[in-house]
Structure 1
Amino acid sequence: MSQAASDVELARSLEGGFVSSHADVNGIRLHYVIGGRGEPLVLLGGWPQTWWEFRKIMPPLAERYRVIAVDLRGMGGSDKPASGYDKKTMAGDIHALMRHLGHDAVNIAGHDIGGMVAYAFAANHPASTRRIALLDIAHPDDRFYDYSLLPRPGRQQIDGDIHAGPGRFLWWFAFNQVPGLPERLLAGRSRHLIDWMCDYLIDDPGAISDRDRDVYAHAYSTVDAIRAGNAWYRAFGQDIADEKTYGPVTVPILAMGGGEGGYQLLRQVLANKGTDVEVVEVPGSGHYIPEEQPETVVKHLTRFFA
């Protein structure tokens, strides 16, 4: 793995006057990249990535919004404490950061784990939420307990290739539940995981370049980084319990689903999760929508948040 660029260098490489910064909020230090002018638009990424996953959509969004891409608790340049990885607490981190930056209410777009945090933000801080967009994800609920530990029937029954089977086989949901072992296996070798995830959940692997993969691999190269990322998954049980207390979210929700059934699943799951829900399909995309189809994402976000 080549030496990855620093967050400062990466931020400077984007058009829109972006800068890398930190803030001490909610008992931890959060890293964020900020640029552009207008109403605040918060971007929250997921596993195993960082704020850098939004690099393609940040410059065009900065033409209309004050874009704030945040590394979640446990991610990238942010602190990796021993606890606090339930999405309600992580939403509290973002709420405290927005208050620190002087914003009373914000729009939020979240992908993967970041989408779960965005939903928890709207559920717990409705007065501070204008609208939220969920990119190929919904908040954990009881259906998470039904995910199979075996791939669904298909060609993989014959040749053992999970890539050949229908749908996504979410083996890492279970792997990340195991304390201690992932750190031992992946520390210093995270690029292998990054490549596998990027190639498995994407329509065009070239949408995430070798340089981008180095950025992500560097961010998850240490024992603490791997432990913290896994902690987002180990908190799912608490997230499911918290979600049962929320009730339908009342702020407008836009959900974007990629291939392998993402769009259909979101339509089904979000039907009773909000009072104003729109679900759109993003053709030609797998799970990594902001990197695979950035123009489509920018089009829908600017329309929705306008």
Structure 2
Amino acid sequence: MPGAVSEAELARSLEGGFVSRHADIGGVRLHYVEGGHGDPLLLLGGWPQTWWQFHKIMPALAEHFRVIAVDLRGMGGSDKPAGGYGKKAMAADIRGLVGHLGHDAVHIAGHDIGGMVAYAFAANHPELTGRVALLDIAPPDDRFFRYSLLPVPGRHQVDGDIHAGPGRFLWWFAFNQVPDLPERLLAGRARLLIDWMIDYLAADPAALTDHDRDVYARAYSSDEAIRAGNAWYRALPQDIADGKTYAPLSAPVLALGGGEGTRALLEPVLAPRVTDLEIVEVPDSGHYIAEEQPEAVVGHFLRFFRDRPHDAA
């Protein structure tokens, strides 16, 4: 993409002394951006985005934490191997990165796919986990098999208009399961998908600028990047099976949802899986909470990770 900005330049554009780095973890090269001082706080992003989705909150958080924003396996500047996209395996990547960085334990926050990985990390590596924040996501479970991908006549009363609501119709959960076709349709045209997703899921699409969208489109412009991102969704049946074997999380969990109604969606799934749970609906936000309402997210993170009494990670 002409005029593209490198990961190193993106990192340097943020206040807080952020730098772009790589680490070889179990044969997979992971890209991450880190800066700040204090207890380590890992940020894990989702599809179809990269670590850059946290750029609005990273400088403020870096005043209190060692902030480490990670491109997951298959994302952005990280390797895109043929397999290993189950969230338990991706959590093992993060475990390896934590060890590489020399931390005994970390706080961890994840959005979308990154939230699934954060949950799997806390479930499988409780000894490394301080506190956990999940942004507009709950762990995969059997409800994923029952999603309405399109409005159902008589139930949703929107005359078949996917944009009319209520709720979200997650057709891409099925699209991303299809082998080979997404790569052929989207290679070199990822900006079309990026724009549609943001405009559909954001309460304020303008909060994600043309520059932001270009960053994400560049990250998903190649065949291998599209294939890797889709692999996160193709692994969901395994993630659901793995989740049934996990004990409830012992780590405190903060779940942030975008706008009204998210508590009703998140609580039934999270309450049986978390022993210490707080759910907060973030007003005037859609799915992309850290970009739509960054000040609110920073405030909630400081209260939860820093100010609420706990054993420091």
Matches within 5 A, 1:35-54: 35-54=35-54
Aligned-pair CA distance for 1:4: 2.7
Q: 1:84 maps to which residue?
A: 84
Alpha-carbon distance between aligned partners in 2 of 1:274 and 1:237, rounded to the nearest angstrom: 21
Give the equivalent residue in structure 1 for 2:128.
128
- Amino acid paired to 1:171: W
Q: Which amino acid aligns with 2:141?
A: D
Per-residue CA deviation, residues 40-71 of structure 1 (Å, 9 max, x unaligned), is: 00000000000000000000000000000000
Secondary structure, counterpart of 1:278 in structure 2:
strand
Secondary structure at 1:163 match in 2: coil
Matches within 5 A, 1:33-72: 33-72=33-72
Question: Which is worse superposed, 134-143 or 262-271?
Answer: 262-271
Which secondary structure state, in structure 2, belongs to the residue aligned with residue 250 of structure 1?
Answer: coil
Partner SS state of residue 167, structure 2: coil
Correspondence for 2:240: 240
Q: How do 1:92-171 residues align onto structure 2 when only pairs under 5 Å count?
A: 92-153=92-153, 154=156, 156-157=158-159, 160-171=160-171
Shift of 1:139: 1.2
Report the AA paired with residue 265 of structure 2: L
Aligned 1:264-275 pairs, distance under 5 A: 264-275=264-275
Contact 1:189 1:221 in 2 (8 A): yes
Q: 1:162 to 1:98 in 2, by over 3 A?
A: same
Q: Which amino acid aligns with 1:248?
A: P
The gaps in structure 1 that reach 5 residues or longer are: none
**2: CA distance between counterparts of 1:262 and 1:82?**
34
Measure how far apart 1:152 and its partner are: 3.6
* Structure 2 unaligned blocks of 5 or more: 307-313
Kept after mapping to 1: 8 A contact 2:88/2:121: yes
User: How do 1:191-210 and structure 2 match up within 5 A?
Assistant: 191-210=191-210
Identity rate of aligned residues, in percent? 74
Q: Tell me if the contact between 1:155 and 1:161 (Cα under 8 Å) persists in the aligned partners.
A: no
- Structure 1 residue 261, shift from structure 2 partner: 3.0
For 2:229, the equivalent position in structure 1 comes to 229
Q: How many angstroms does 1:260 deviate by?
A: 6.2
Write out per-residue CA displacement over residues 81-117 of structure 1, whole angstroms, 9 at most, x where no aligned residue: 0000000000000010010000010000000000000
Contact 2:150-2:162 within 8 A present in 1 as well: no
Judging changes above 3 Å, is the alpha-carbon distance between structure 1 residues 142 and 281 closer, same or farther for their aligned structure 2 residues?
same
Q: CA deviation at 1:262?
A: 2.4
Q: Is the 8 A contact 2:151 2:161 kept in 1?
A: no
2:181 is aligned with 1:181: yes
SS at match of 1:178: coil
Distance 2:260 2:216 in 1: 24
The normalised TM-score by structure 1 is: 0.97
- The separation in 1 between residues aligned to 2:2 and 2:197, in whole angstroms, is 19
Asked whether the equivalents of residues 152 and 166 of structure 1 are also in contact (C-alpha less than 8 Å), the reply is no
Please give the alpha-carbon distance, in whole angstroms, between the structure 1 residues aligned to 2:252 and 2:217: 35
TM-score (norm 2): 0.95
**How far is the alpha carbon of 1:269 from its aligned partner?**
1.4
Give the partner amino acid of 1:129. Answer: T
Measured after TM superposition, the shift of residue 155 of structure 1 is: 5.4
| SS of alignment partner, residue 163 of structure 2 | helix
The answer for the alignment partner of 1:219 in structure 2 is: 219
How far off its partner does 1:26 sit?
A: 1.9
**CA distance in structure 1 between the aligned counterparts of 2:217 and 2:161, rounded to whole angstroms:** 25
Aligned equivalents of 2:259 and 2:232: distance in 1? 24
Q: Is the 8 A contact 1:155 1:164 kept in 2?
A: no
For the Cα contact (< 8 Å) 2:141–2:240, is it kept in 1?
Answer: yes
**1:247-258 paired onto structure 2 within 5 Å:** 247-258=247-258
For the aligned residue pairs, the C-alpha RMSD in angstroms reads 1.1
**Structure 1 contact 4–211 (Cα < 8 Å) conserved:** no
Supply the distance in 2 between the matched residues of 1:212 and 1:151 (Cα, whole angstroms).
30
Please tell me whether residue 73 in structure 1 is matched to residue 82 in structure 2: no
The letter of the residue matching 2:143 is R
